[in-house]
Chains A and B, each alone.
Chain A
Amino acid sequence: MERTAVTSPSTGARSMRSIGRFLSNTGPLLVLLFMLAVLWTLSEAFRSPTSLMLLGLEAAAIGIVAAGQTYVILTGGIDLSVEAMVSFAGVIAAILIAGTNVAGGQIANGIPSYLAILIALSAGALIGAFQGVLITGLNMNPLIVTLGMRSILLGVSLVITNGAGINIQKDEFLSFMTQVIRIGEDGAIRVPMVLIIAVIIYFISWVVLRHTRFGRYTYAIGGNETSARLSGISVNLVKIRIYAISGLLAAVGGVLVMARLVSGAYQNGTNMTLMSVAAVVIGGTALTGGKGGIWGTLVGVFIIRVVEQGMVYLSVPSNAKEIVLGVIIVLAVALDVLRRGDIPWLRMRRRAV
């Protein structure tokens, strides 16, 4: 009765597979290092500590937003509301800190920034959870729910600011959050605080996704929601928490952007949805869910940032930026499809040979 072959692939096949896995895990990282090397060689300006510091600074906020997006995409969903959440959280925090609305009209005395930030973050998590409830409880399409929420949040931000930014004064807490730490003699290496916050969030996310029950459930739901449900997992509860996390992290990103610009405005989050999704996909997480990881997203964020900054250093006209970004995003999705080998006509051609 030993007809069932033991499934131990030949060593050749196995090493092929492990090479494949190695490439899909480190591929984005290699691309990033290559791009950095090219830029380093071609542009003298890029070699300055300031430009490296700027790279980290620019990557931090979008990185945190993209971390939240990673959770959602791992379950096979998508959160298009993040850019609006960035603006919304910034506006809410700014209003509370400054005690003003509509471009300077005093309505109350401001409250301490940490309290204002706490309220803005709670709002982000709650709104995210609410989206999760709509998506799971009413079985609505996440694309539509989050697209609708995007409009609502942008609209609210626009209405309560009347289109202008709300400027704030930095207090101690905000100064601490936005400082740049100097390391080494004469402070040659400069590390922005926001980057440290981002890295901490990434580390926590890695632990959550890879070492907790919740993380395992996240992957299981993305891999096969039916099996997950039939294995006794409360799929809806997990998903609601996932959207809450995305809302929360987008709000964190929003508060940091606001603090850096010392202004809460409805444009603060512009483009961040597209960039966060692109970073997740470039980083190797499948849009269909169940596969990928948080570190890939961080690499994806840096790839996008290096491209953006590289264009500046290589004197590409800034108006062309959007075009390049668009190309990168489409390429990233094409890569995602290729990784899955899911192109029928290509497969057929291969078989027909």
Chain B
Amino acid sequence: MNADNPVVLEMRGIIKRFPGVVALDNVGFDVRRGEVHALLGENGAGKSTLMKILAGVYEADAGEIIFKGRRVSYHTPKQAQVAGITTIHQELNQIPLLTVTENIYLGSEIMRGPLVHWREMHKGARALLERLHLDIDPRVLVGSLGVGQQQMVEVAKALHHRSDIIIMDEPTAALSLREIDDLFTIIRDLRAAGVAIIYISHHLNEAFEIADRLTILRDGRHIATRAAADLTMDELIRLMVGRRLDEQFPKETAPRGKELLRVEGLTQGDRLRNISFSVHAGEVLGIAGLVGAGRTELLRAIFGADPIDAGAVYVDGGRVPIRSPRDAIRHGIVLLPEDRKQQGLVMGMAVRENVTLAVLRALTRGPLIDRRRERALVGQYIQRIQIKVADPENLVSSLSGGNQQKIVLSKWMATEPRVLLFDEPTRGIDVGAKVEIYRLINQFVAGGGAVIMVSSELPEVIGMSDRIMVIHEGTVTGFVGRAEATQETLLEYATGHRRDEGHP
């Protein structure tokens, strides 16, 4: 890229607050034509929020966006797209039961009178795909394509809209190595054609490989913008994290007790194949793997949320049948889901009602709920888990992500569980609250419990686990001890390039 390329986009002084959190605090950066600009930072650093403001999903509380020399503000993603800013999401948002052509032209169909001009559209779609060197028939259903190809179709759609800026949010998360290579070729072509690309990724190596400049955010603040050539990996990590690893993950090792939970031969269609492991009292077992490897599915299967085809679960050495979440809870196994709002909480209910939802049986006297005991219990957990809430009668929807997570945790702690299945414990939580969640995990295992933790953040898995199980396409590829765990080793197992004996 030529450093003299004109600036196509500038964001200045962006401030965005959510209830209880300042997500972006006076953030600004600029993007030039024909540039690949990586946006880096930990979870909760504010990358996605910043991009959602740019793309018209959120409205900033303050600040301005200057795009192609004009001050703009978009209220819907559609407006932003028409203006030339397209987002390619982590979760693809295409309609699987429509064809490639229909998806590309969705909302901008070529018409001949009142009818859709199919011939013209197929021709256009084919031309776009050819520009991307893709051998895809525009008439096939998008659902029949692989994830990588679906992503390319999104790129084609962005080209169709003559986008000046394409935002790619974790584009490689679900791609194979070959597909990543293809994607990078296309990104380089786009760059040569003058398109600016904002590239969000957790994989720092990728960012170094593809980006011209990097902007680092931390805790909702702009930390630095540098040319990739002027930055080393060490420096980058220091900028992103801003503190030492042991401050970030206050891991305390608890004495390892007897086996609490054992899973044998767990199988669920193609998603989970013959998975066996055990976890002991006082232990945090981390589960690492790529998106789609079956991490969440594994936790849900153990919890009885989804049916399994084969396998057995043993608690305290005895086999227990788990056919529903209720069975699991009865045996002291609870799940903290990755999507708290959709699966962990009832947002329209008060803090009190959410905390006691799983233990009402114990709070019922005769036919009625004992309100006094209920309030006492809630007060106790607000203290113990340190939930910051002015009044337990407030709706949980008014709390920050960290406090919401603590409410889910309180709900389960009240059932006195022995094994926590913890899916993405700190997703969408700001840094201060993250450390509090980690301390609660420490406390729990110190008290003789066990935690099985799934996380997309390798540093988190490495920082908080005693032992790490890596899965790849639904099978276990290996176990790594805390001492030997590095991001590189875990990735080798996670991509299936390395497999331990006994884990075919």
**Interface residue ranges, A against B (CB under 8 Å):** 1-9, 207, 211-213, 216-217, 219-220, 223-224, 226-234, 290-291, 348, 351-352
- Within 8 Å by CB of A7, from B20, B371, B436, lies B20
26 interchain pairs (CB within 8 A)? A1-B435, A3-B219, A3-B432, A4-B433, A5-B400, A7-B394, A213-B360, A213-B364, A216-B369, A219-B346, A220-B346, A220-B353, A224-B346, A226-B342, A227-B343, A227-B344, A229-B305, A229-B325, A230-B335, A230-B343, A231-B325, A231-B358, A231-B411, A232-B326, A232-B358, A351-B75
Chain A residues whose CB sits within 8 angstroms of the CB of B361 once the complex forms: 213
- Within 8 Å by CB of B305, from A7, A216, A230, lies A230
A229 to B304, CA, bound (A): 11
- Within 8 Å by CB of B349, from A1, A223, A229, A230, lies A223
Shortest Cβ gap from B361 to chain A (Å): 7
Chain B residues whose CB sits within 8 angstroms of the CB of A207 once the complex forms: 368
- Smallest CB-CB A-B distances: 3 pairs: A8-B390, A223-B346, A1-B432
> Do A219 and B400 have beta carbons less than 8 Å apart?
no
Chain B residues whose CB sits within 8 angstroms of the CB of A7 once the complex forms: 19-20, 388-390, 394, 398-400, 403
Chain B residues whose CB sits within 8 angstroms of the CB of A219 once the complex forms: 346, 349, 353
Chain B residues whose CB sits within 8 angstroms of the CB of A228 once the complex forms: 346, 357
A351 to B57, CA, bound (A): 12
Chain A residues whose CB sits within 8 angstroms of the CB of B436 once the complex forms: 1
A290 to B371, CA, bound (A): 20
Candidate in A2, A6, A9, A216 with the most chain B CB atoms within 10 angstroms: A216
> Do B346 and A6 have beta carbons less than 8 Å apart?
no
State the main secondary structure of chain B at its contact with A: mixed
Shortest Cβ gap from B383 to chain A (Å): 14
Known: A7-B403, A348-B76, A351-B59. 20 other contacts (CB 8 A): A1-B436, A4-B388, A4-B402, A6-B20, A7-B394, A7-B399, A211-B368, A211-B369, A219-B346, A223-B349, A224-B345, A224-B346, A226-B342, A227-B342, A227-B343, A230-B344, A232-B325, A232-B329, A232-B358, A234-B326
Chain B residues whose CB sits within 8 angstroms of the CB of A213 once the complex forms: 360-361, 364, 369
> Do B347 and A224 have beta carbons less than 8 Å apart?
yes
B residues 54-94 touching A (CB-CB < 8 Å): 59, 75-76
Chain A residues whose CB sits within 8 angstroms of the CB of B432 once the complex forms: 1-4
A187 to B344, CA, bound (A): 57
Chain B: residues with Cβ within 8 Å of the partner, total of: 51
A244 to B432, CA, bound (A): 49
A77 to B450, CA, bound (A): 39
> Do B388 and A6 have beta carbons less than 8 Å apart?
yes
Chain B residues whose CB sits within 8 angstroms of the CB of A5 once the complex forms: 20-22, 388, 400
Chain A residues whose CB sits within 8 angstroms of the CB of B433 once the complex forms: 4
> Do A212 and B353 have beta carbons less than 8 Å apart?
no
Q: Per-position contact with A for B318-359: 1 when CB-CB < 8 Å, else 0?
A: 000000111011000001010000111111110001000110
> Do B402 and A220 have beta carbons less than 8 Å apart?
no
B431 on interface, CB distance cutoff 8 Å: yes
A3 to B431, CA, bound (A): 8
A223 to B369, CA, bound (A): 19
A207 to B367, CA, bound (A): 10
> Do A348 and B431 have beta carbons less than 8 Å apart?
no
B35 on interface, CB distance cutoff 8 Å: no
Shortest Cβ gap from B291 to chain A (Å): 21
- Within 8 Å by CB of B357, from A211, A231, A348, lies A231
Chain A residues whose CB sits within 8 angstroms of the CB of B219 once the complex forms: 3
Chain A residues whose CB sits within 8 angstroms of the CB of B400 once the complex forms: 4-5, 7
B169 on interface, CB distance cutoff 8 Å: no
- Within 8 Å by CB of A4, from B59, B324, B403, B411, lies B403
Shortest Cβ gap from B220 to chain A (Å): 10
Candidate in A4, A207, A216, A231 with the most chain B CB atoms within 10 angstroms: A231
A150 to B400, CA, bound (A): 46
B430 on interface, CB distance cutoff 8 Å: yes
Chain A residues whose CB sits within 8 angstroms of the CB of B347 once the complex forms: 223-224
Shortest Cβ gap from A14 to chain B (Å): 9
A136 to B122, CA, bound (A): 44
Shortest Cβ gap from B335 to chain A (Å): 6
Chain A residues whose CB sits within 8 angstroms of the CB of B22 once the complex forms: 5
A9 to B398, CA, bound (A): 9
Candidate in B337, B388, B433, B435 with the most chain A CB atoms within 10 angstroms: B388
Complex: chain A residue closest to B334, CB-CB: A232
A219 to B348, CA, bound (A): 9
Chain A residues whose CB sits within 8 angstroms of the CB of B344 once the complex forms: 227, 230
Complex: chain A residue closest to B361, CB-CB: A213
Chain B residues whose CB sits within 8 angstroms of the CB of A220 once the complex forms: 346, 349, 353, 357
B residues 252-305 touching A (CB-CB < 8 Å): 303, 305
Candidate in A213, A219, A291 with the most chain B CB atoms within 10 angstroms: A213
A227 to B357, CA, bound (A): 10
> Do A348 and B346 have beta carbons less than 8 Å apart?
no
Shortest Cβ gap from B180 to chain A (Å): 33
Complex: chain A residue closest to B357, CB-CB: A231
B residues 122-136 touching A (CB-CB < 8 Å): none
Complex: chain B residue closest to A210, CB-CB: B369
A234 to B328, CA, bound (A): 13
A5 to B402, CA, bound (A): 10
Shortest Cβ gap from B12 to chain A (Å): 20
Complex: chain B residue closest to A221, CB-CB: B346
Complex: chain A residue closest to B305, CB-CB: A230
Candidate in A8, A226, A232 with the most chain B CB atoms within 10 angstroms: A232
Complex: chain B residue closest to A229, CB-CB: B325
Complex: chain A residue closest to B435, CB-CB: A1
Contact A290 B346, CB 8 Å, known A4-B433, A216-B360: yes
A223 to B350, CA, bound (A): 11
Chain A residues whose CB sits within 8 angstroms of the CB of B346 once the complex forms: 219-220, 223-224, 227-228, 290
Contact A290 B369, CB 8 Å, known A4-B20, A5-B400: no
A1 to B342, CA, bound (A): 28
Shortest Cβ gap from A21 to chain B (Å): 11
